[in-house]
Amino acid sequence: MIKKTSFPYQLYLVISEKDCLGKDFLKVAEQSILGGVDIIQLREKNTSTEDFLRKAIALKEITDKYNIPLIINDHFEIAEKIGSFGIHVGNNDKAPSILRNELFFKDKMIGYSIEYLSQLESVNTEISDYLGISPIFSTDTKKDTVTEWGLEGLSKIRSLTDKPLVAIGNINFSNAAAIIKAGADALAIVSAICSAENPEKAAYEIKNEIVK
Ligand code: TZP
Ligand code: MG
């Protein structure tokens, strides 16, 4: 029996300017919201803190306009500076258990990437609001990954925890429904939306696959 948890967001856009392949990433974000994206994470690697901050401020104007939560990847000082909805961190970042003790993050959403089963036993999992199952399928968007969970790995994790599970990695229209069926509460997507010719349509079609 698959346990389902309550997580009010089903389609999670993870965006960077780079992954939008020359398009205006702010426009991509807005179009994807119109298509049905429920929550957005800014994840921009290999850029300066100043550039990340500039992007975060600009993106927050859009997410605020549509009342969509904005999650910041890794950059906890920027999350605090812009007053983001939350933060997403991995195994090599500032730990959720440390963030949670900071005043700003006390009531913020904290997402934590799971790359090893042993992480499920950790206090970081316990105090996080959702777990990123990373990656569900290997992907060119992030090459430094540890394992490929697949649908079986996802189902196993589903049986071991009640935490909301956000699957990420090579998710698109064709595999979306199967990943939800295997136990994910939400799907996090980069390229199937960011590099789509029509991000609004891409988001709409994927959302339609997972919200029946
Ligand atoms: N973490 C695990 S896979 C991944 C991240 C950030 C990238 C997912 O990108 P895509 O293009 O949706 O496969
Ligand atoms: Mg990280």
Q: Is residue 151 part of a domain?
A: yes
Q: Is residue 195 part of a domain?
A: yes
pLDDT of residue 5: 56
Q: Please, how many CA atoms are within 13 Å of residue 42, restricted to the half-sphere of its CB?
A: 31
> How many domains are there within the chain?
1
Q: Is residue 55 part of a domain?
A: yes
Q: Is residue 142 within 6 Å of ligand 1 at its C-beta?
A: yes
The strand pair at 165-168 and 130-133 is best described as parallel
Q: Is residue 63 part of a domain?
A: yes
CATH number for the domain that contains residue 198: 3.20.20.70
Q: Is residue 45 part of a domain?
A: yes
The Cα 189–Cα 101 span in angstroms is 30
pLDDT digits (tens, 9 = 90+) for 127-166: 999 999 999 999 999 999 999 999 999 999 999 999 999 9
Q: Is residue 106 part of a domain?
A: no
Q: Is residue 105 part of a domain?
A: no
Q: Is residue 71 within 6 Å of ligand 1 at its C-beta?
A: no
Tally of residues, the chain: 212
Distance 135 CA to ligand 1 centre (A): 7
CB 117 within 8 A of CB 154: no
Provide the residue range defining the domain that includes 199.
11-70+132-210
pLDDT at 92 over 60: yes
The ligand minimizing its distance to the Cα of 144 is 1
